[in-house]
Structure 1
Amino acid sequence: MKTHVKALVVGGGAVGASILYHLAKAGWDVMMVERDELTSGSTWHAAGLLPLFNMNFATTHIHKYSVDFYKGLEAETGLNAGFAVVGNLRMAQTDERMDEYKLYSSIAETAGVYHEFLTPQEMKDRWPLLRTDDLKGALFHPQDGYINPADVTQAMAKGARQFGATIERKWQVDGYEWTGSEWKVTLTRMGEKGGNLVPTEEQMVVTAEHVVTATGNHAQRTARLLGIKIPAIPVEHQYIVTEPDPALVEWRKAGNPEHPVLRDADAKWYVREERGGWILGPYERNAPARFLYDVPESFRADLFQLDLERIEAEYMSMIHRLPSSEEVGLKDDFNGPICYTPDGNPLVGPAPGLRNMWLAEGFSFGITAAGGTGYYLAQLMTEGEAEIDMAALDPKRYGNWMTTEYAARKNEECYEHVFILHHPDEEREACRPLRTSPAYDRQAERGAQFGQVNGWERPNYYAPMEFDDHNARSFRRGGWWKYAEEEARAVRETAGLIDATAFTKHLVRGPGATAFLDWFTCNKLPAVGRINLTYALTDAGTTRTEYTIVRLAENEYYLVSAGAWQAYDQDFLLKAAADKRDEFGWIDIHDVTNQWGVFAIAGPNSRAILNELVCDAQPETRLSNKRFPWLTMRDIELKMCPVRAIRVAYTGELGWELHHPIEMQNYLFDRLMEAGETHGMRLVGARAQNWLRQEKSYRAFGNELGRDATPLEAGLDRFVDLSKEFHGKQAMVETGIRSKCVTVLIDGPADADPWGREALVLDGRKVGRLTSGGYSVAFGKSIGMGYVEPGLAEVGQKLEVRMQGRLFPAEVVEDSPYDPKNARIRIDG
């Protein structure tokens, strides 16, 4: 066995084999260690389905790469991976499910995934064993299907060996130690006793510059060894195999093709053919999480006891859909652990707080994702960034507030939701409320309908107390739409109060703070008492994080960034500062998110409301443009509450962010509500705010801003100071302009707005995609933001947006189509 490698991959399932293959292909000296045999984890009992895409843009690309990659493995390695390209039929029993598939269709179009819609009669004509009289239609992907998990893993392993990789079996990792330049990994030889794996006394140490963990069901053990949290916990997944179905056997004997993988999402199952019979895989309620803390030593390629009562409804619905299966007996059954995460997406990327430690954990669709994960993770490791934005899969999207109990319960919920309608406006209920600002109860009493961001409860909109948010969700304009419209109009006409407490907040100070932040971000640093919007870049020159920087003193700064990315931003800041401490001097960084609450007040009446509360010798001028200009910060007092007020508004109206001691939030909330009553102020949620910021073309991190576009491609030239040197500058300049961010106004359907996942089309050709979408109260029509080919970014360019399966006219408009000169933001009084 080698004792030193460039990269060590831990875990010999499909995901680990793909990572090994792609790193070896990239030219790295790489070795894999597996505690048992290859495929002995969840890979061996996986059904091997290959659904091409889902609602997540990055995951869709990963799945598409896998499907294309697997098709070429046999020619490369000589091993048949068992890929049955039979297609994938997503059936719909309801109009709402068809709405979901139309949104799926647009996402597929943006990723170049071929698909087609079928009517019930077209399905019946192709596959007469199907009952289709109660279906509305289906979405069909003829290019995917299913694969043999063990065979594809062995094929990738052989391909990795051909590129020079090494694979060592029966070695368990028992310790990781970072020396400052490499990892010392302690391995223990595993033996067998009574059919169980047991550690022997033989040990050795392997050093590696990089380590990748792909440990599947053993993720909690990996987390303990590394001293971090990994919210990947398995959930039981059952599937059954029937005896041969005579009707199916006759169908195939007659020379007919194999059925596609059948997905009756409304019945919560998939079905595919298996040796003349059927495999049924349900996603039922009450499937329990397992191995919350560890996998027993005795558990190898083992299974749990089947619970047929739990899947009775799904079994009966299979018989309904395939009537010929009613008299067919059961041949085999499986109930094994499949890892999940709270949002269903895997954890792929750098581990929090650690150097050169990479995670590839939590794969609920591991076979589908394995090929693409290896490809894009290898890009991250060898080139610094992947060609797609992988932030949505980053392990640091969950902070240290996440617990084992939270992960287990959310993972169970995620399993149950595999086939439940995935409304873009859905908010799942498990483990809530958890993180609440002090004003939570006051907001709930006023009809707040909450969403969850990084565990925080945040009002999405306000509705009458009897309103049911669950029944208000839709792929079109849900029942909540009218309330968000009223809130957005209030900000434009009177005033609105928004709870922004979930914002991420860091204090950066010390002798090296100024030099560090000047290098770390691309804009000029503000003067003391002023603020700037700026960006930290990746090594590839793309946007890594957006910050509002408030300069409190010569070497003291208050940084505000997106609430969903708290741990992500903290990790980046701390690692970058540590790297530059010798060059710039001591830098002290504190996450102060939980110390400061934030209310954003905006609208033409916002100054009048605050003037009723501000304590000053001249309260009527305290908030004037002369004493408190736009893009400045002032420490003020609102009655008895000290406030760090920032003259900025994400909605594009006169407004302030009121950062306040979290323990005084309820006092401040009550005073603002009292003062706002006579000025028409309304409580406003995140959905209305999202619409309003698009009217101002304000980019949002995770939407328009990400690691697949530079600030210049995002149209943020005014926030980039090319006269100075900063991290990622050269790469940004060399990248050029591959696409351009634009705002479009859309003459869409009367009952729907874009969600920000739709394709932009010109003359029948996809030329870009939306990254945000919604409704504009200022223009009375749908609005969106997104990226198009550079030559199509001119104001007045006519395009089309695909919504609900149809194309609707769209036009590129000037940046900040609402109040482009910012007169309303600067209004004096």
Structure 2
Amino acid sequence: MKTHVKALVVGGGAVGASIAYHLARAGWSDVMLLERDELTSGSTWHAAGLLPLFNMSYATTHIHKYSVDFYKTLEQETGLNAGFSVVGNLRMAQTQDRMDEYMLYASTAETCDVPFEWLSPAQIKDRWPLVRTEDLKGAIFHPTDGYINPADVTMAMAKGARQRGVTIERKWQVDGYEWTGADWKVTCTKMVEKGGNLVSSEEQVVITAEHVVTATGNHAQRTARLLGIKIPAIPVEHQFIVTEPDPALVEYRKQGGAEHPVLRDADAKWYVREERGGWILGPYERNAPARFAYGVPDSFRADLFPLDLDRIEEEYMSMIHRLPSSETVGLKDDFNGPICYTPDGNPLVGPAPGLRNMWLAEGFSFGITAAGGTGYYLAQMMVEGEAEIDMASLDPKRYGSWMTTEYAVRKNEEAYEHVFILHHPDEEREACRPLRTSPAYDRQAARGAQFGSVNGWERPNYYAPEGFKDHAARSFRRGGWWQYAVEEAKAIREGVGLIDATAFTKHVVKGPGATAFVDWFTCNKLPKVGRINLTYALTDAGTTRTEYTIVRLGEDEYYMVSAGAWTAYDADYLKKAAADKVDEFGYVEIQDVTTQWGVFAIAGPKSRDVLKAVIKDGDPETALSNKRFPWLSARQIELGMCPVNAIRVAYTGELGWELHHPIEMQNYLFDLLEQAGEQHGMKLVGARAQNWLRQEKSYRAFGTELGRDATPLEADLPRFVDLSKDFHGKAAMEAKGIRSKCCTLLIDGPADADPWGREALYLGDGTRVGRLTSGGYSVAFSKSIGMGYVRPDLAVDGQRLKVRMFDQLWDAIVVCDSPYDPKNEAIRKDG
């Protein structure tokens, strides 16, 4: 057995086998995979083997598409048939709302080159006469996927890995990880059979590995304990049943009928596929419990749980409704096994928080579908430094240290239940909320705040009248909340509004090495003391890793503000980068002060008037003037009795300030500002209106326009890149050139809908040339607005394009950067 390898993969399911295969294919020949039992003995063996391409995530759609394409090549390479039945996938809709969901999803599919077809109820019935269709609105059909044998595809990937030099060892359990500063010492114990159980022997080895990847499936909590980190991957029971042969189905196939595609009745919450003349039914019912919250018992191997037929009675009866011939067919077999979930249903793929050369591939609720693509893109991250697509949405650090076991259990159960629940783009799931609240939460709730959850924080999305129910207002078109967001956006453009931005991530970086480090770490010029700038930290590949607003507090002290959703993600990257450069730049102290400071953003033409009424200064009339408090500067001021670090900047593009205040004084400051704002008509404003307003100013946002698949130059932000200095990622950024370019578009869309930021863009001749990354409504232009990436030659003012919404093409025009107030006259207004 080898004791030194380049990369050690822990876990021998489909995901682990794929990672080992793709690392070897990417050039790392010295790779080993360890499995504590037999290959496929975890969730892989009892998976139904479906390959659904449907996913609202851009990254996950790419992953799934790669898997479907890759699995079709395995037999030619390895000689093993992966058992892929390319029968297609028919996703049916009983309501127009469901069809709207499919049309929104289709936008993502288009941008990822996933083929699909639209079918009417009559067309469904014509192709598959056993399906009842009179109560359907239609369906989306993916002709290129279907189902696969999980064990066969795993064995094929394992054989392909061996052919490329990978060593696979079975019956070895990892019992310890130790980082030496250069590599990992991994303690492994030989497992032996004893009385039907798998138990540890006395034989141990220590493997030295430069990189470790964990793909431990249901055992993720054990992995988390061994590594001393949190991994919110906990299994949930998933059951499916297999029926006896259906005589009507047998006869249909005997008469030459084509095999049914995988059938999904999303409104009934199940999938069905053919199985040896019968049917497999897999429901996603309510109240499926999480299991193994603190680890898998030693006695649990390739085992199952008792079936709970009462829990799936509703879904079983709806299958009979959709396939009437199944009513008299008996049950042949049943499965109820653990399938890992995460709080948002997406896997955890990428570097482990706080650790070096430790990579996670955990929490796969659709592991067979995701295995191939996960191996491919994770191998790119490990070997090349970054994947060709932005993998941030799957990063393990999207959950911070505030996440607990109970939170993961309850959210994972919710994610399971929501597999087939309508995925509105304005969806806000309710489990475990409220959890993280700023002090002003109760005051905002009393004034009608409808909250969203960002990194566990409750953040107002918009404000509505008493009795308004957010869940009833959601839609794929303009929801019931839309009118309130319009009023809030207008308030900032015409008067004054107050936004709670407490969730912002905030770090203080200081020390003798701080200036040299921050200058290297970010791509823009550093501000002078008392000034601010907008800048970016890049990846090794030269793409955008993080956006920062930097306030220079002193010669060697910086206050760095970044997106609220990414606190742990940003902290991990910042701290590791500083540690890597300590010998070159000197000591740097980094403090996460996110929870110490609340933030209110006040913006609008009357924002200065509100602050004048409460600022404690020798001359309130001039304290906030351009001379004493210019745009893009920071000052410590006093508002009433509250000390405030005020920054003259506004994400909305209006005159405004960010008011960073001690969080324990937030309620006092809220009351003070609310009282002062009353005579000026100040309105409380939520995140949705703010999102529209920032698009009118062409302000890019991290996670949409800014990400690890595009450079700041491709985001068309050369004014924030100082090419005269050396900075991390500069050479890689310049080598990439401009592959696509970000621009803003005004859109003449449908009267009842706006884009969501995932729609495909076309030329008038039907050539696809890009995609939207953000979308919404512009109160300044009274039409839809969006931002996105197109071919560089098309990102010019006046270029006419088309955007697909609800399966129609609508006119769009590229507009100059910052179409609202392009000269920044409003934001620089004196007074």
TM-score (norm 2): 1.00
Deviates more, 1:761-770 or 1:636-645: 761-770
Post-superposition Cα deviations, 1:674-694, rounded to whole Å, max 9, x if no partner, equal 000010110000000000000
Question: Which residue in the other structure is 2:2 paired with?
Answer: 2
Q: Which residue of 1 aligns with 2:718?
A: 717
1:683 aligns with 684
The question of whether the paired residues in 2 share the 8 Å contact of 1:341 and 1:414 is answered with yes
Amino acid at match of 1:702: G
Give the equivalent residue in structure 2 for 1:140. 141
Match of 1:108 in 2: 109
**Residue 228 of structure 1: aligned partner:** 229
Structure 1 residue identity aligned to 2:799: Q
Q: Match for residue 266 of structure 1?
A: 267
Letter in 1 for 2:133: T
Match of 2:706 in 1: 705
Q: Which residue of 2 aligns with 1:597?
A: 598
* SS of match in other structure, 1:252: helix
Gap regions ≥5 residues in structure 1 = none
SS at match of 2:679: helix
Inter-partner Cα distance in structure 2 for 1:26 and 1:619: 64
Distance 1:88 1:264 in 2: 11
**Amino acid paired to 2:689:** A
1:660 match: 661
2:518 is paired with a residue whose SS is helix
Alignment of 1:458-497 (within 5 A): 458-497=459-498
Deviations 1:742-790 (A, max 9, x none): 0000000000000000000112121100000000000000000000011
CA offsets, 1:478-527, max 9 Å, x none?
00000000000000000000000000000000000000000000000000
For 1:46, the aligned partner's letter is A
Structure 1 CA distance, aligned partners of 2:258 and 2:2?
48
Aligned to 1:31: 32
Aligned-partner Cα distance in 1 for 2:13–2:560:
41
Matched, 1:15 2:21: no
| CA distance in structure 2 between the partners assigned to 1:590 and 1:259 by the alignment | 58
Deviation at 1:794, TM superposition (A): 1.0
Q: Which amino acid aligns with 1:117?
A: W
Q: Please say if residues 53 and 64 of structure 1, whose CA atoms lie closer than 8 Å, have aligned partners that are also in contact.
A: no
Give how far 1:53 is off. 3.2
Match of 1:755 in 2: 756
2:241 maps to 1:240: yes
Query: What is the deviation of 1:104?
Result: 1.0
Matched, 1:380 2:381: yes
Cα distance in 2 for partners of 1:636, 1:495 equals: 20
The CA deviation at 1:584 is: 0.5
Sequence identity percentage: 83
1:768 aligns with 2:739: no
Residue in structure 1 matched with residue 813 of structure 2 by the alignment: 811
- Contact 1:769–1:787 (8 Å) recurs in 2: yes
Counterpart residue type for residue 805 of structure 1? D
Query: What residue in structure 2 maps to residue 743 of structure 1?
Result: 744
Secondary structure at the aligned position of 2:705 is classed as coil
Q: Secondary structure at the match of 1:457?
A: strand
User: What secondary structure sits across from 2:581 in the alignment?
Assistant: helix
Matched residue, 2:629: 628
Q: 2:5, 2:820 → 1: CA distance?
A: 56
Aligned equivalent of 2:174? 173
**Aligned-residue offset at 1:272:** 0.2
Letter in 2 for 1:530: R
Q: Secondary structure at the match of 1:309?
A: helix
The question of whether the paired residues in 2 share the 8 Å contact of 1:40 and 1:300 is answered with: yes
Matching of residues 200-239 of structure 1 within 5 Å: 200-239=201-240
1:42 and 2:54 correspond: no
Give the C-alpha shift of residue 465 in structure 1. Answer: 1.6
For residues 145-179 of structure 1, the C-alpha deviation after alignment (integer angstroms, 9 at most, x for no partner) is 00000000000000000000000000000000000
The letter of the residue matching 1:427 is E
Deviation at 1:304, TM superposition (A): 0.2
**C-alpha deviations, 1:805-828, integer Å up to 9, x for none?**
111000000000000000000000
Q: Which AA in structure 1 matches 2:383?
A: T
Aligned counterparts of 1:209 and 1:391: Cα–Cα separation in 2 = 23
Distance in 2 between residues matched to 1:520 and 1:570, nearest whole Å: 13
What is the aligned partner in structure 2 of residue 95 from structure 1?
A: 96
Q: Determine the C-alpha separation between the residues in 1 that align with 2:811 and 2:365.
A: 38
Equivalent runs, 1:305-454 vs 2, <5 Å: 305-454=306-455
Q: Which amino acid aligns with 1:605?
A: K
> What secondary structure, in the 3-state scheme, does the structure 2 residue paired with 1:679 have?
coil
SS at match of 1:709: coil
Measured against aligned partners, the alpha-carbon deviations of 1:24-56 in whole angstroms (never above 9, x if no partner) come to: 111211000000000000000000000113000
Structure 1 residue 192: Cα displacement: 1.0
* Maintained 8 Å contact 1:53/1:61: no
Letter of the aligned partner of 2:359 in structure 1?
A: W
Give, in whole Å, the separation in 2 of the partners of 1:627 and 1:280. 70
Corresponding letter in the other structure for 1:808? W
How do 1:279-298 residues align onto structure 2 when only pairs under 5 Å count? 279-298=280-299
Cα drift, residue 214 of structure 1: 0.0
1:254 positional shift? 1.0
Aligned counterparts of 2:495 and 2:658: Cα–Cα separation in 1: 17
| In 2: Cα distance, 1:768 partner to 1:67 partner | 23
Unaligned 5+ segments in structure 2 are none
- 2-side partners of 1:714 and 1:814: how far apart? 14
Structure 2 counterpart SS, 1:800: strand
Give the 3-state SS of the residue equivalent to 1:326 in structure 2: helix
Give me the whole-angstrom Cα distance separating, in 2, the residues matched to 1:31 and 1:25.
13
Q: SS state of the match for residue 153, structure 2?
A: helix
Q: What SS does the corresponding residue of 1:597 show, helix, strand or coil?
A: strand
What one-letter code is carried by the residue in structure 2 that aligns with 1:15?
Answer: V
CA contact (8 A) 1:528 1:554 kept: yes
- Whichever residue aligns with residue 660 of structure 1, its letter is H
Stretches of 4+ moved more than 3 A in 1? none
Match of 2:328, SS?
coil
CA distance in 1: counterparts of 2:257 and 2:16, whole angstroms: 37
Asked if residue 798 in structure 1 is aligned to residue 800 in structure 2, the reply is: yes
1:695 aligns with 2:702: no
2: distance between equivalents of 1:765 and 1:131? 37
Alignment partner, residue 828 of structure 1: 830
Q: 1:224 is paired with a residue of what secondary structure? A: helix
Displacement, 1:256?
1.5
Q: Please say if residues 265 and 420 of structure 1, whose CA atoms lie closer than 8 Å, have aligned partners that are also in contact.
A: yes
Please give the root-mean-square deviation of Cα atoms over the aligned residues, in Å.
0.4
Cα drift, residue 553 of structure 1: 0.5
Write the distance in 1 (CA, Å) between the matches of 2:82 and 2:793.
43
- C-alpha contact 1:759 1:769 (8 A) present in aligned 2: yes
Q: Secondary structure at the residue paired with 1:824?
A: coil
1:193 aligns with 2:194: yes
Separation in structure 1 between the aligned mates of residue 368 and residue 496 of structure 2, nearest angstrom:
51
Partner-residue secondary structure (3-state), 1:413: helix
The Cα of 1:188 is off from its aligned counterpart by 0.3
d(CA) in 2 for partners of 1:737, 1:300 = 51
Secondary structure class of the residue paired with 1:507: strand
* Matched ranges for 1:569-588 at <5 A: 569-588=570-589
- 1:576 and 1:362 mapped to 2: Cα distance? 27
Q: CA deviation at 1:530?
A: 0.1
Q: What displacement does 1:631 show?
A: 0.1
Deviation, structure 1 residue 791: 1.1
The separation in 1 between residues aligned to 2:104 and 2:585, in whole angstroms, is: 49
Per-residue Cα deviation, 1:502-558 (whole angstroms, up to 9, x for no partner): 000000000000000000000000000000000000000000000000000000000
User: How far did residue 255 of structure 1 move?
Assistant: 1.5
CA contact (8 A) 1:53 1:59 kept: no
SS of the equivalent of 2:459 reads strand
Which position in structure 1 is the counterpart of 2:119?
A: 118
Retained in 2: the 8 A contact 1:601–1:657? Answer: yes
In structure 2, distance between residues paired with 1:815 and 1:112: 29
In structure 1, distance between residues paired with 2:767 and 2:217: 41
C-alpha separation between the residues in 2 aligned to 1:656 and 1:310? Answer: 53
